[in-house]
Chain A
Amino acid sequence: MKSKAFVTILEMLTTVAVILIAFGILFPGFSYQNRWEQGFISLKGRDVVVTMDRVGNLYTNSFNETALKSFLDRTVPTNLTGLIHWSGVDGTLKPVVRVACNCTNAQKDALISWIARLRMNGRNIDFDIATSSLEPIFSASDVLLVWGDRTFTSQQKTNLENYLRSGKGIVEIMDLTGSLDDVQKSIFGLETCSGLFGGPSCGIGGGPPDISFEPTPTRVSNKSYTSYKYYHRIPMIAFAPTPAGFVNVKAGVEPCTSLDITRGTFAVREADYNFWICDEIIELSVYFDTGGNPDEADIKVLQGQTFVIDGQELFLSYIDNNVKIGVSFVPKHDSYEGYEFKNFLQGGIKLYPSNLDKSRVVLSKGNYTGTENPIPAAIVNETVARVAWVADFTENLNQVSDDHKLLLASLLLWTSEKRYISSLGDLRIGHVTSYINVVNQDMYEVYKFDLGLGFPF
Chain B
Amino acid sequence: MKAQLSYDYYFALILFVIFIASLFFRLITFFPAYSDVITTQRLRAEAYQISEILVNDVGHPGNWHTDAPLFSNVKRLGLSDEIQNKTNLIANVKTIAFDFLCETNYNRVLQLLDISDGFLVTIVKIKDPPERFECLPAEVSARIRTEITRIVAFNDGSFGNLTVSVWKR
Binding site for B on A (CB under 8 A): 8, 12, 15-16, 19, 23, 27, 29-30, 32, 34, 36, 43-44, 47-48, 50-51, 54-56, 74-76
Contacts and interface: CB of A to CB of B under 8 A. Distances in A.
Contact of A55 (B11, B38, B157): B157
A193 to B, nearest CB: 56
Interface in B1-55: 7-8, 11, 15, 19, 22-23, 26, 30, 33-34, 37-38, 41, 44, 48
A43 B164 CA distance: 14
Contacts of B41: 34, 36
Interface residues of B, number: 30
Interface residues of A, dominant DSSP: helix
Nearest to B146: A36
B150 interface: yes
Interface of B: 7-8, 11, 15, 19, 22-23, 26, 30, 33-34, 37-38, 41, 44, 48, 86-89, 126, 148, 150-153, 157-159, 161
A75 B15 contact: no
A32 B39 CA distance: 12
Contact of A54 (B7, B23, B86): B86
B126 A54 contact: no
A44 B48 CA distance: 12
B126 A56 contact: no
Contacts of B38: 32
A8 B7 CA distance: 10
Contacts of A32: 33-34, 37-38
Contact of B34 (A30, A48, A50, A51): A30
A23 B15 contact: no
B159 A75 contact: yes
A332 B98 CA distance: 56
Contacts of B37: 32, 34
B159 A23 contact: no
Given A50-B87, A50-B88, A75-B159, A55 B19 contact: no
Contacts of A36: 41, 44
A75 B126 contact: yes
11 contacts: A15-B11, A19-B19, A23-B22, A29-B26, A30-B34, A32-B33, A43-B148, A51-B153, A55-B153, A75-B159, A76-B151
A23 B148 CA distance: 40
Contact of B126 (A8, A27, A74): A74
B94 to A, nearest CB: 15
Given A47-B88, A54-B88, A55-B158, A12 B153 contact: no
B34 A47 contact: no
A167 B164 CA distance: 46
Contacts of B161: 75
A36 B150 CA distance: 15
A51 B152 contact: yes
Contact of A30 (B30, B126, B153): B30
Given A32-B34, A43-B148, A47-B152, 10 more contacts: A8-B7, A15-B11, A16-B15, A23-B19, A23-B22, A32-B38, A44-B151, A51-B159, A75-B126, A76-B151
